[in-house]
Amino acid sequence: MPTSIALIAHDSQKADMMALAQKYQTTLSRYHTIATANTGKQVQAATGLPIELIKSQRDGGDIQITARVIAGEIACVLWLCDPDQLQTIAASLLNLLRICQIYNVPLATNLSTANALLQSLQKSRVAHLIFNPVAGQGNPDADLALIRQILEPQIQLNVIFTKPDLNPTDQAKAAIASIQRRRSLISDTNFVIASGGDGTISAVANALIGTGIPLGIIPRGTANAFSVALGIPTGVKQACETILTGNTCIVDAARCNSFPMILLAGIGFEAETVERADREMKNLLGPLAYLIAGAQQLLEQKLFAVEVEIDGSVTEFHCGAMTIANAAPPTSVLAQGLGEVIPNDGLLDVTIAVSKNESLTLSDRLLAIDVIGKLFTSALVKTPIENEVLACFRTNKIKVTATPPQKVVVDGEIIGTTPVEIVCIPDGLTLFAPLLNSLVIPNHKMA
């Protein structure tokens, strides 16, 4: 459902429109309001609300509104008519009425129906849906239609499509700016939804860190690791239903250099594996692409030297893989050295696959397969693994330097090479998530 309201009022009805706007100022503040010139100026003066001014009704403002109804931009139209002018404006009003009828858009022509419409909108939440149309292997048109079908009866959706030349973080920041401009007038009924893979969700989350604005997640990627880690359903229908419950929780976030990190950073083996599993491979094989890429990388992985700095103390290792996790599902096996990655403890979980040798032998590679199996088991039973080839610890800040420099993957995207500094941001992100998830502390339920 669109998030714009259109206002028109004849001269004899402008006082009633001003009173109506003042009465429902909080509700109108949650929407983008457009109005014919004179009506809009008076509403703006009476309420202080930002109003998009279009032409006056005499100069075709009603035609502009009709066009926007056809374009799918209007949630409802409030046209307070002078009963003595109905014969004069009959053609214009009938034309708008016809279009509203065709496109199923409510049209109020008197105070009673206008009050009823605005009372209905009072009960609705407003969400900015940032939708990645190229994520995953599904049909994006069908996915979006299902999202609208489930959410729009209760939520006004402003759909924003990601584009190759735009960063989803910037798109989310624009949505947040719209929310924050009105926040002094509204409660926390406005929020943001991200629909795509882990990369899209991480980029949108980047804009939301520290704002307190809730993030809804509708996963449609290949791995959907963040959703799995937080117990958020990976099916579109179930994820939408989770958002509709209104249950929220607060979890940690992190930054790796200047990049947001809600999941984990992988250095060495994991970064090389992700690079091997390119978009074409993921489209063809789905999650299996990571397994095949990992098997190939295990045969070729080389050791590297790392310096790990924590609180000014530096430790050196020879290793083939290193993972620093804020949150991780059991399938992110290289993050599971401590048995359970807790997403709201204010700490990062560090797992390093160390070696006493300077190069990987065949027996080392076979041992790595055995260790990976044990890591997966430790995640399932939530018990730390004890193994001489693993160094595992928790910290709130870590700096890593590697020789030679190693590729770094953050939340499924290659961001460059070492060195990196990763800092945990405690309680950085508010999410819609099931209350049954034992890993998160419930925060509150949205009205």
Catalytic residue ranges: 62
Instruction: Give the list of residues 6+ apart from residue 360 with CB closer than 8 angstroms, or none.
Output: 301, 302, 303, 320, 368
- Cα separation, 349 vs 366, whole angstroms: 25
Buried/exposed 396-412: b ≥16 CB within 10 Å, e otherwise: bebbbbbeeebbbbbbb
Kindly give the residue spans of alpha helices, DSSP state H, lying in 182-247: 198-208, 225-230, 236-245
Closest CA to 222 of 197, 204, 245, 247: 197
- Cα separation, 82 vs 66, whole angstroms: 19
Q: Which residue has the tokens 């910290």?
A: 395
Which residue type occupies 249?
Answer: C
Sign of CA dihedral 333, 424, 243, 126: negative
Helix or strand run (H / E) with residue 329: none
List, as one string, the DSSP characters of 118-172: HHHHHT-EEEEEEE-TTSSSS-HHHHHHHHHHHHTTTEEEEEEE--TTS-HHHHH
- In 326-380 the beta strands, taken as DSSP E runs, fall at 348-354
Helix or strand run (H / E) with residue 186: none
| Residue 129 in tokens | 């849906």
Closest CA to 125 of 35, 253, 248: 248
